[in-house]
Every structure is written in structure tokens, then in C-alpha cells.
Structure 1
Amino acid sequence: MISKEKLDRINLLAKKAKTDGLSIKEQKEQKELRQEYLKNVRSSFKNQLSSVKVVDEEGNDVTPVKLKAEKRNNNIIH
């Protein structure tokens, strides 16, 4: 999880970019922080998705084959 300080910094740089503009150093920092944030979001989403089990109205497991294979590859069995 990304720290609150980093999130605050991302928001500050975004606001500054809209009002005053950013220096080259700030643009680089913003890009790095955004990449870190996106990496974290993608990882969290992937973990959440790996715990999903799809069940039809009759109670049958209809989880897509691709998701089941991904769970097996990551040794995540629910």
C-alpha cells in the first residue's frame, strides 16, 4: 500500500501542475509517484480478482478457465 504522504504529494503535484506548472524535477517525481501508485493498484486488483469464485444460480462453479489457471499458477486455491 502506498503511504498517505506519497498520496498527498501526488495530489499536491497534480494541483500545482494545473495552476502553476511543474519544474522538470517535479514532473519526474510526479511520473515516478504515479507509476508506483498504479503498480500498487494493479497488484491489489490482481490479488482481489484471484479470490473471486463465480457461481451460477444452481450453485455450480462457473469460474472462467483462465482465472482458475491463474489461481493454480499462483498456488491460490479457494
Structure 2
Amino acid sequence: MLSKEKLARINELSKLAKEGKLTEELAKERTALRKEYLDTFRSTMRDTIEHMKVIDEEGNDVTPEKLKQIKSQKNFLN
């Protein structure tokens, strides 16, 4: 998770961009912060999905095979 300070900075820079007051240096900072945010989001989402187990109404495990393979590979590496 990105710190509250970094999220606030992203929002501040976005506001400046909307007002047309964003310098080239600030634009680079915004790009770097956005990349960090997206990388963190994707990592968290990937971890969430990889720890998921899908069960149907009858209680059967219907987790997709690809997900089961990823889980077993990660367990093998640990």
C-alpha cells in the first residue's frame, strides 16, 4: 500500500495538471508516483487472486487450473 503522503501528493499533482500549472519536473514526479501506485496495486491484486479458492453452490472446488498451477509453483518455491 502506498503511503498517505504519496497518495496526497499524486492528488495534488493531478490538481495542478488540471489547472495547467504542472511543470515538466512535476510531471516526471507525477509519472513516477503513478507508476509506483500501479505497481503496488497490481502486486496486491495478484496476491489476492492467487490466494483465492472458488467454490460452487454444491461445495465443489472449481478453482481454475491455471490458478491451481500458480499456487502449487509458489508453494514449491517456498
With normalisation by structure 1, the TM-score equals 0.91
> Where in structure 1 do 4 or more consecutive aligned residues deviate above 4 Å?
none
The aligned runs of 1:11-50 (5 Å cut-off) are: 11-50=11-50
Q: Could you report, residue by residue, the CA deviation over 1:6-58 in whole angstroms, capped at 9, with x for unpaired residues?
A: 00000000011001331110010000000000000001101111111111121
| Paired positions, count | 76
- Gapped regions of structure 2 (runs ≥ 5): none
With normalisation by structure 2, the TM-score equals 0.91
Alpha-carbon distance in structure 2 between the residues aligned to 1:25 and 1:41: 24
- Gapped regions of structure 1 (runs ≥ 5): none
Q: Does 1:7 align with 2:46?
A: no
Cα shift at 1:74: 1.5
- Identity rate, percent: 51
Which structure's residues are more often helix, by fraction?
2
Alpha-carbon distance in structure 2 between the residues aligned to 1:21 and 1:74: 46
Give the equivalent residue in structure 1 for 2:58.
Answer: 58
Q: Secondary structure at the match of 1:74?
A: helix
Alpha-carbon distance in structure 1 between the residues aligned to 2:50 and 2:71: 6
